[in-house]
Amino acid sequence: MASLYNFKKIEPVPTSSDFVDIILSKTQRKTPTVIHKNYNIGRIRQFYMRKVKFTQENFDEKFKNILDEFPKLEDIHPFYADLMNVLYDRDHYKLALGQINTARHLIDQVAKDYVRLLKFGDSLYRCKQLKKAALGRMATVMKRQKDSLAYLEQVRQHLSRLPSIDPNTRTLLICGYPNVGKSSFINKITRAEVDVQPYAFTTKSLFVGHMDYKYMRWQVIDTPGILDHPLEERNTIEMQSITAMAHLRSCIMYFMDLSEQCGYSIEDQVKLFHSIKPLFANKPIVLVINKIDQVKIEDLPEEQRKWIEDIAAEENATVLTMSCYNDEGVMSVRNNACDKLLAARVEMKMKGNKINDVINKIHLARPQQRDNVARLPHIPAETKTRVKYDKNDPNRRKLAKDIEEENGGAGVFNVDLKKQYMLEDDEWKYDKIPEFLDGHNVADFIDPEIAEKLEALEREEERLEAEGFYQSDEEILDDEEEILRTAADGIRDRKKLIVQAHRAARGRTRPVLPKTAAAKFSTVSEMGEHLESMGIDATDAAERTRTAAAGRKRTRNEALPDQAVKDVDVRERDEALTEEMSNLGFRNVKQKLEADKQKKQGQKPSALMGKRGESDRQIQTKMPKHLFSGKRGMGSTDRR
Q: What's the confidence (pLDDT) of residue 569?
A: 47
Q: What's the confidence (pLDDT) of residue 299?
A: 84
Q: Is 324 helix (H, G, I), strand (E, B) or coil?
A: coil
CA distance 255 to 269: 9
CA distance 75 to 90: 14
Q: What's the confidence (pLDDT) of residue 565?
A: 43
Q: What's the confidence (pLDDT) of residue 509?
A: 56
CA distance 397 to 123: 116
- Which parts of the chain register pLDDT below 50? 1-3, 558, 561-570, 640
| Per-position DSSP letters for 448-464, written without gaps between them | TTHHHHHHHHHHHHHHH
Question: Do 68 and 100 form a contact (C-beta atoms < 8 A)?
Answer: no
| Per-position DSSP letters for 175-236, written without gaps between them | EESTTSSHHHHHHHHSS------SSTT---S-EEEEEEETTEEEEEEEPPP--SS-GGG--H
State the pTM of this model. Answer: 0.54
Cα-flanking dihedrals φ and ψ of residue 441, to 5°?
A: -75, 125
Q: What's the confidence (pLDDT) of residue 570?
A: 47
| Residues 320-359 as b or e (16 or more Cβ within 10 Å = b) | bbbbbeeeebbeebbebbbebbbebeeeeeeeeeeeeeee
Q: What's the confidence (pLDDT) of residue 568?
A: 45
Q: What's the confidence (pLDDT) of residue 334?
A: 93
CA distance 177 to 276: 12
CA distance 44 to 192: 65
Q: What's the confidence (pLDDT) of residue 26?
A: 94
CA distance 105 to 113: 12
